[in-house]
A = this chain, B = another copy of it.
Amino acid sequence: MQRIKYQAYIDKIQSPEKAALLIKNHHVLGVSGFTKAGDSKTVLPKVAERALHEELKLTVLSGASLGYDTDADLAKNGALYKRMPFQADPTLRKSINNHEVLYVDQHLGQTADMLQNIDTFKIDVAIIEALAITEEGYIIPTTSVGNSPIFAEMADKIIIEINGSFPKSLAGIHDIKLLKKQPNREIIPVLQSDTKIGDPYIKINPEKVVAIVFTEVPDSPAIISAPDEKTTAISGHILQFLDKEVAEGRLTESLLPLQAGIGKTANAILSGFKDSNFKNLTMYSEVLQDSTFELFDSGKLIFASASSITITESCAEKVFNDFDQYKDKLMLRPQNISNAAEVISRLGVIGINTAIEFDIYGNVNSTHISGTKMMNGIGGSGDFARNGYLSIFACPSISKEGKISHIVPMVSHTDHTEHDVDILVTEQGLADIRGLAPTERARLIIKNCVHPDYKDQLLDYFETAYALGGHTPHILQDTFSWHTQLKKHGTMKMNELASNHF
């Protein structure tokens, strides 16, 4: 109760069950939550439960993926008509790929603009997790800001979920500003990762608040496997490359603000900076993972701006038990500002993201397994890759005991085009394709990034295609033969097939 400084809300306190009843069939919901951080822990799960017994077909917009089993339960219980702009849940993924749920896979920096520009998604109810409520009735968010400010602005009704599990000292790390619709869009005056441009709370119209609920459930912890041989090698190649850029005077030892994608690879890469020669690093990113705090502790990193904090259980214990030591080094922003083209291009962010596969000409697939099945979504990778100073994509050269090569003749789905990709890296090595023509890129990528088991096979494809001519040589009838072979025969290796079959 002491977390609510606005009296008029006291009357609105109710149980999550009751608050969940405010959601009606066909509603459009805007919910807080960004890669498991700062999501609704009680009301949205109760909504999912209701769908077990009654017809609920909801359109659910979030910041990014939700924590616990919320996305899974919403999907399993048939509560979802449409979901956007990101998810990362195995059950929901299955429903999407089975055509049970419509999914709009969107640049995370662009959802707020879309809501201002089209009328398709009139937000009926926003459900927003809060650390506390200010005297004006404004919302202080928790571990993510995401799209909450625009949801609160556009929603007819707002449900606030106050989470007592986070230390109050989180207050003050948020920097929130709503951008006006064009032609009145203002300059976003972020000049460095730590430039403050807004308020430490989400301004809302208190009249729209229809329910306040309480919870003590912490964020679902991130699960991150430890760096292994491959991810450590990838990290090493990137550090070596950046060392060279510094040595040759193209970057300083503080580099430029770093962005790192989600998952094990990105986390391992960033961890690697602990033992680097760089100093006074900064981040202008989307998600802060464990590695961010390791870098703070090692003294390498001096400031990190993002839209959420998504960390493991042990990291959370350390960070939230003594948050004051990190407080001045962190800032959480709305995702249309953490991912703004304007700021990313001005600051010259170095974006490091993971690919599902990439091709010999530098196109990257971040989203679709074999061109058809959605994995997670593009997330913010495109926001950073398109407009940053340097766009790095990493993945292992092979997986599944070598049955899959992650470098293929042509990506089966394109999320980042050849025009937007600068550096490709696997545990085998790194290819800097800036300023190269497609045929130059192909030779370099095959030489540096491809696993020895696939080198000849890929070179064969390239040379055969090259002989046919064309700026970007391809054998159109064979481009996806690696993917179709994998499906039919369980491996992309052609010679293995040959020896198996003859």
By a beta-carbon cutoff of 8 Å, the part of chain A in contact with chain B is 82, 84, 96-99, 102-107, 113-114, 117-121, 181-183, 185-187, 189, 191-192, 248, 250, 254, 256, 340-342, 345-348, 363, 368, 370-374, 378, 382, 386-387, 389-390, 410, 412-420, 434-437, 439-440, 465-466, 468-474, 476-477, 479-481, 483-484, 487
Contact = CB atoms under 8 A, between A and B. Distances in A.
Interface centre among A256, A417, A483 (most CB of B within 10 A): A417
A282 to B, nearest CB: 9
Interface centre among A254, A368, A387 (most CB of B within 10 A): A387
Contacts of A186: 346
Interface centre among A120, A183, A484 (most CB of B within 10 A): A183
A97 B372 contact: no
Contact of A440 (B97, B102, B107): B102
Contacts of A420: 107
B346 A187 contact: yes
Copies in the complex: 2
25 contacts: A96-B471, A104-B437, A105-B471, A106-B419, A113-B389, A114-B435, A117-B390, A118-B250, A182-B346, A182-B347, A182-B348, A182-B389, A183-B347, A341-B342, A341-B387, A371-B410, A371-B479, A372-B469, A372-B473, A374-B472, A387-B387, A412-B476, A414-B414, A476-B487, A477-B480
A372 B473 CA distance: 5
A414 B479 CA distance: 14
A418 B434 CA distance: 24
Those 3 A-B pairs whose CB atoms lie nearest each other, nearest first:
A182-B348, A372-B470, A374-B471
Contacts of A419: 105-107, 378, 382, 415
A259 to B, nearest CB: 14
Contacts of A183: 192, 254, 256, 347-348
Contacts of A370: 476
A420 B487 CA distance: 30
A181 to B, nearest CB: 8
Nearest to A370: B476
A118 B469 CA distance: 29
A248 B119 contact: yes
B474 A484 contact: no
A373 B470 contact: yes
Given A104-B435, A187-B189, A256-B183, A117 B389 contact: yes
A472 B345 contact: no
A494 B83 CA distance: 37
Given A439-B102, A471-B368, A117 B250 contact: yes
Contacts of A345: 185, 340-342
A476 B480 contact: yes
Nearest to A187: B187
A114 B414 CA distance: 23
A473 to B, nearest CB: 6
Nearest to A113: B389
Contacts of A96: 471
Nearest to A468: B372
B437 A82 contact: yes
A472 B436 contact: no
B97 A435 contact: no
A192 B183 CA distance: 8
Contacts of A410: 371
A273 to B, nearest CB: 17
Interface centre among A105, A346, A347, A469 (most CB of B within 10 A): A346
A99 B462 CA distance: 14
A107 B66 CA distance: 35
B435 A121 contact: yes
B471 A104 contact: no
Contacts of A477: 480-481, 484
Contact of A342 (B342, B374, B472): B342
A435 B120 contact: yes
A102 B414 CA distance: 23
Contact of A346 (B98, B102, B185): B185
Contacts of A476: 370-372, 412, 480, 483-484, 487
A286 to B, nearest CB: 16
A486 to B, nearest CB: 10
B382 A471 contact: no
Given A434-B114, A484-B477, A466 B347 contact: no
